[in-house]
Amino acid sequence: MSIPLILRLDVTGQPMEWIPWQEAACIYARGRVAWTAGNHVFPLRGGICRRSGIQTTLEINSIIAVKGEYQRHLKPRNPPLNNSELFRRDKNTCLYCGHEMADFNLTRDHIKPISRGGKDVWRNVITACRRCNTRKGSRTPEEASMPLLAIPYVPNQAEYLVLRNRRILGDQMAFLKMQFKDTERHWKLQ
């Protein structure tokens, strides 16, 4: 049986992480599920009770809120930066030439180069093809006459969870999309 990842929320409904069904089953078994959401329910079959002879079953929802858990930070934290999620954020598109490419043809480019004091943070990095990254070199986009096609942004937790998981159920996506920032406004060309 292939069950997709389960979306784990805190009790206030803030998305926290993706968890495997086995971890979700433990949360159910411990009685820590505060509430559930989503249309998908996955039935699990366990062992047979000696006394009753009945097989145990457990139904796991695609979205679960866990009792006693709250986002630990009042201020939203920035998700970790890595190329995989960066490329997905930028739709696998070079933000200089506009060509969509496979991951192995893309690089991380620093808008303000690290050699000139730039930081390796979401707002200072974009996806670039190897050709454009080489052409830009250690200059800023303005100095290289290579305007950006989109403005880099820091994904919020819901957006980051979408970037991390390629197999998201419709109900999970609908739940997460309610918390998206209006990132489409960051794109200059469409």
**pLDDT tens digit sequence for 7-54:** 999 999 999 999 999 999 999 999 999 999 999 999 999 888 889 999
- Cα–Cα distance, 185 to 10 (Å, whole number): 29
Distance CA 138, CA 36 (A): 50
- For the chain, domains (ranges, CATH) are 1-75+163-190 (no CATH), 83-136 (1.10.30.50)
Read off the pTM: 0.78
Residue 46 confidence (pLDDT): 84
φ/ψ region of 109 (left if φ > 0, alpha if ψ in -120 to 50, else beta) reads: beta
Quote the CA–CA distance of 185 and 29 in Å, as a whole number.
44
pLDDT at 184 > cutoff 70: no
